[in-house]
Amino acid sequence: MSNVRAAHLTRRGILAAGGALGLGAALAACGDDDAKSGSSGKETTAAESGPWTFKDDRGTTVKLDKVPANIVAFVGVAAALYDYGVSVKGVFGPTRTKDGKADVQAGDMDVSKLTVLGNEWGQFNVEKYAALAPDVLVTTLFDAAGTLWYVPDESKDKIAKLAPSVGISAYDRQLTVPLQRVWALAESLGADMTASKVTDAKKRFEDASSRLRAAAKAHPDITVLAGSAAQDLFYVSGSNLSVDLEYFKALGVNFVEPSASVLKASGGWYESLSWENVDKYKADIIMMDDRTATIQPADITQATWKKLPAVKAGQVIARSPEPIFSYDKCVAMVENLAKAIETAKKVS
């Protein structure tokens, strides 16, 4: 991300830098546009069969003679497919932290066994990608234009010539939609969607959602703010474009958020505040961006942050702005918010 200029923010730059959703550390530094996985114990063998067809969320239909065996995916999508027993040949996007451990977006994958084509924004080793002989590339979409997430603009044409792509949209829809789409993709790739591990996770997600709906109904006065921390700025997310926040709002969660006119400057994603003005919005619970490029709550040193009522009350929880779209991985995020609302004190 350091190779992009800070002066000119396009929508894609905003997304990379924090819109999706407040990844402020990157926004402070940049802003312009511009393998093998560990086994889950039951890998698919459907690649021996065919043909294969899948219509993605851009309306693009990919047709292959066989179910793709050599899959390259954005790390979060790879992590979701892994939960369904589908392995990938390579990944791109935040996979390993600086100390070599698994990034939060890598899920349960063994990152030591992954072929990583690029770990940061703007990184994508095209030569290494070609060497994998990819059948298909899979990633998410965070805008209406269908821009492939974490596929660099400067090399997207070269990448496109090597294999067709599939885009799963995480833009302006509720969480259940990409969950269903990744489910359909995994099923098309040969995953056993009747396995107890899979069906149990879906049931747990549905139960967690019912719990959150009940908690929100029982505590309508409890307000929630979604934030993200950078060195110089604090980002307050709007709820109308993010898959998790749209879903939580539909379940009845009472969000405190910027007005539409304020959000307009970021394409509808967030409002940026100086740390001196971090108390602009009052909330009982603060959900904080858990991605590794952001500053985590325990490391925030600003006095204004520490004075916030929700912080003083210990009512700060983690949020995953880029969820891993498997039911198993989305259970905790729903349960955590439900528990927070159930137990929160009114402090705003």
If pLDDT is split at 50, 70 and 90, which confidence band does 50 have?
confident
CA-to-CA dists, residue 227 to 23, 31, 170, angstroms = 9, 19, 19
CA-to-CA dists, residue 129 to 116, 195, 233, 295, angstroms = 9, 32, 36, 31
Q: Which of 167, 121, 124, 120 is nearest to 146 (CA)?
A: 167
Q: For the chain, what percent of residues have pLDDT higher than 90?
A: 86
Neighbours of 51 (CB within 10 A): 9
- Rounded Cα distance, 119 and 242, in Å: 23
Residue 102: both structure tokens together:
């698994």
Q: Which of 144, 170, 149, 169 is nearest to 159 (CA)?
A: 149
- Rounded Cα distance, 168 and 58, in Å: 8
* pLDDT above 60 (res 4): no
Q: Per-residue pLDDT tens for 227-236?
A: 999 999 999 9
pTM across the whole model: 0.88
* pLDDT above 60 (res 187): yes
Tell me the residue length of the chain: 348
Predicted local distance difference test score (pLDDT) of residue 224:
98
Where do we find the tokens 């999508």? 77
* Position 295, amino acid: I
If pLDDT is split at 50, 70 and 90, which confidence band does 38 have?
very low
- Rounded Cα distance, 217 and 164, in Å: 45
Predicted local distance difference test score (pLDDT) of residue 6:
30
Mean pLDDT across the stretch 48-64? 91
Mean pLDDT across the stretch 278-304? 97
Q: For the chain, what percent of residues have pLDDT higher than 70?
A: 86
- For 178, which DSSP code? H
Instruction: List Cβ neighbours of 204 (8 Å cut-off, separation of 6 or more).
Output: 327, 328, 331
Q: Per-residue pLDDT tens for 90-115?
A: 999 999 999 999 999 999 999 999 99
- Rounded Cα distance, 291 and 293, in Å: 6
- Rounded Cα distance, 250 and 94, in Å: 29
Residue 109: both structure tokens together:
């994958």
Predicted local distance difference test score (pLDDT) of residue 30:
38
If pLDDT is split at 50, 70 and 90, which confidence band does 288 have?
very high
